[in-house]
Amino acid sequence: MQGGPLHRKYKLYLDQVGVAHAPENYEDRLREIFPKTFVHLRLFALDPYDLALSKLERNIQRDRDDVKHLARAVPLDVEVLKERYHKELRWQLGNPEREDLTVRLWIAMIEEDAQKHN
């Protein structure tokens, strides 16, 4: 935390975040960012599909905007997104029927956005 021993000694702190569900086996797909930049630190990021799906339950406007950006920038394949959701994430969720609807809405959003930008 800011002001804690790590921050005081190394000018580095980490913000704690709430729990988000990530697809099963996400660890196998983590990507190292800034490799060989730091001597004693390695940083990893979720793959784009796992990152998008980790935003599913919260589903606030910022999350939808992030998913739309990922869909354009990567670009995301909606079939991969659907498959990973159904095989690796859905079973973990507290209200899967609600998230089924969210996934369908996100896919429609991604497809509509792709048509506008093609």
Can you give the residue ranges of every domain in the chain? 22-116
pLDDT band for 103, please (50, 70, 90 cuts).
very high
pLDDT score for 116: 92
pLDDT band for 1, please (50, 70, 90 cuts).
confident
| pLDDT tens digit sequence for 8-25 | 998 888 877 777 899 999
pLDDT score for 10: 86
CB atoms < 10 A from the CB of 17, how many? 6
| pLDDT tens digit sequence for 23-69 | 999 999 999 999 999 898 899 999 999 999 999 999 999 999 999 99
DSSP calls for the chain? -TTSHHHHHHS------------TTGGGG-EEESTTS-SS--EEE--HHHHHHHTTTT--HHHHHHHHHHHHHTT--HHHHHHHIIIIIGGG-S-HHHHHHHHHHHHHHHHHHHHHT-
pLDDT score for 2: 87
Report in angstroms the alpha-carbon separations of 41 from 11, 12, 36.
14, 12, 9
pLDDT score for 41: 87
pLDDT band for 6, please (50, 70, 90 cuts).
confident
| pLDDT tens digit sequence for 76-99 | 999 999 999 999 999 999 999 999
